Structure 1
Amino acid sequence: MFGADKGKAGELDGKGLYIGIVQARFNESITNALHEACVAELKALGVEEDRIDHFTVPGALEIPVALQALAEKDHYDALIALGCVIRGETYHFELVANESAAGVTRVALDYHLPVANVIITTENLEQAVARQSDKGRDAARVVVEMCNLLDEI
């Protein structure tokens, strides 16, 4: 039927997916927590541990080039960007937040590949800590849902 909703919201199946994760080491306590929550959720959704590859880079600005290198391998069904940018006293916060997000989006669009952008941007450390587990789980759910959707389309 034309216009019928074919999406199966809530029915997330990660079986058989290959996922690449790129994690920034800057604000490492936050990004480690993002990673732990993300991997736990990927496994809960059926992604096998040996199908999850993990790479680290110095900071958020380096994430897009690592994602691009992974996308070029044509091995991954989806990618995940994990980082944390906390506002400081200079314009650097906006630069890192905006440019890293633009780079992540570019990889997704250029390679027609689901990429979860979980480079969290917060005003302070407390906000980052409050979001680290939920956003890590969200990253896993986003890529599995998008893989499922793209398989349907």
Structure 2
Amino acid sequence: MTQVAYELPTANGAYRAARIAFIHSLWHAEIVREAHAGFMEEIEALGFPPGAVDVFETPGAFEIPLHAQTLARTGKYAGIVAAGFVVDGGIYRHEFVAETVIRALMQVQLATETPIFSVVLTPHHFHEHDVHQRFFHSHFRTKGQEAARACAGTLESLARLAAA
């Protein structure tokens, strides 16, 4: 049997279809959902069926790591993608939130051995005017596409390691 990007080896040498969880925050959802759109465009182009991705929502980025951990522990997902937008709202909080989320996602990845891909972004400055809205819509779509390529490549690499 020839292995493709969306199949993973099982303990008995058979293959199972890879499922991916996509978690995104609802804070600035109109921008963050662009990451999902870009991810879906690219992951399908890479050979994954559209139904292989389950979508989960959280109120904000801070809640993403717990969802990622809970999903990873189910054993249903070969990979988990996290998308969120942590902006400077005028008080010194965004850097703490962004660092905490990214650090926690790495801990989940290492503890569960489920790859986690981050599209949790923190702009240096964000203003809700048209220029920034257009820029970040486009940027999140691009980052979603990049996450899809990273996800597919990592799943293929891990499948090769498991089969060796």
Settle same-fold status: TM greater than 0.5. yes
For residues 86-108 of structure 1, the C-alpha deviation after alignment (integer angstroms, 9 at most, x for no partner) is: 22321111111111111111111
Deviates more, 1:121-130 or 1:40-49: 121-130
Q: How does 1:27-106 map to 2 (within 5 A)?
A: 27-106=28-107
* Uncovered stretches (5+) of structure 2, i.e. residues with no partner: 8-16
- Counterpart in the other structure of 1:145: 153
The normalised TM-score by structure 2 is 0.81
RMSD (Å) for aligned C-alpha atoms: 1.5
How far apart, in 1, do the equivalents of 2:106 and 2:66 lie? 12
- Counterpart in the other structure of 2:143: 135
Q: Secondary structure of the equivalent of 2:42?
A: helix
How far apart, in 2, do the equivalents of 1:75 and 1:52 lie? 11
How far apart, in 1, do the equivalents of 2:58 and 2:24 lie? 6
Runs ≥4 residues deviating over 6 A: none
Residue 128 of structure 1, CA deviation: 2.6
For residues 105-151 of structure 1, the C-alpha deviation after alignment (integer angstroms, 9 at most, x for no partner) is: 11111111111011011121525334111101011111111111111
How far apart, in 2, do the equivalents of 1:67 and 1:59 lie? 13
* Uncovered stretches (5+) of structure 1, i.e. residues with no partner: 1-11
Computing the radius of gyration from Cα coordinates, the structure with the larger value is: 2
Q: How many residues align?
A: 142
The normalised TM-score by structure 1 is 0.87
